[in-house]
Amino acid sequence: SLVLWTRLSTTEADDRAFAEEGLPQQATQYGEILLEGVMDMLWRVGARPGDRFYDLGSGAGRASMVAWLLGLRSTGAELARSRFEAACQGVDALESLLTSASFAPRVAGLPARVPSGLDFVRCNALQLDVSDADVVFLSSVAFTPELMEQFGVALRSLRPGARVVSFKPVPGPGFQMLGHFTAPSSWNYTWSAEWCVQVVAGAGAGGA
């Protein structure tokens, strides 16, 4: 909705933070894969309870929250303070909801959630250590080719078998394309975006 989009738009302070980190202005643009798309994504990459999930550029944190609800250990990284604070507020609301008697039956059939398995960090996602990741998600619709190259370098620490889901493929010889899937997004609720699924092959994304 318009109200939701306004709340998640960057402030002038957010824009300065991106500029100070040397990130392109396009990186401040925000949109989300919808909740059903997150669940489909995790199923398609074979995510299992206990797996380590990272959302790099997590915005309001919905993908990270869904991953945690499905039993993963989940971290969202977001540089924009306004969006990071929205995610933290969302965690508080989620915890209240999960403890309410009326909502508990709705999640009774989900995998056990990892205690303290959901967190958000305010940082440049390029600098976050994700070497223990099983699944990394990048909502890279507005990312420039140069920024994708930077992520290709930043994700070299990923171990073999780790899966990367991104709108644009992460460049580099260690990333092997597995396929694509479509999922609805917040940019246009009637349009399903196509997402790439890559796996870290061989000796890992950093090479032998």
pLDDT for 105-116, tens place per residue? 666 666 667 667
Give the tens place of pLDDT for each residue, 14-68. 778 777 877 767 666 666 788 888 999 999 999 999 999 999 999 889 999 999 9
Cα–Cα distance, 92 to 85 (Å, whole number) = 11
**C-alpha to C-alpha distance for 143 and 23, rounded to whole angstroms:** 10
> Quick check: 3 pLDDT over 50?
no
CA–CA separation, 153 and 148 (whole Å): 9
pLDDT digits (tens, 9 = 90+) for 115-170: 679 999 999 999 999 999 999 999 888 889 999 999 999 999 999 999 999 999 99
**The model's pTM:** 0.83
Quick check: 201 and 185 in contact, CB under 8 A? no
Q: Which residue type is seen at 165?
A: V
**Tokens representing residue 150 in the block:** 């930077």
Both structure tokens of 40: 């489909």
Q: What are phi and psi of 31, to 5 degrees?
A: -160, 165
Q: Provide, for the chain, the percentages of residues in helix, strand and coil under a 3-state DSSP scheme, each rounded to the nearest 5.
A: 35, 25, 40
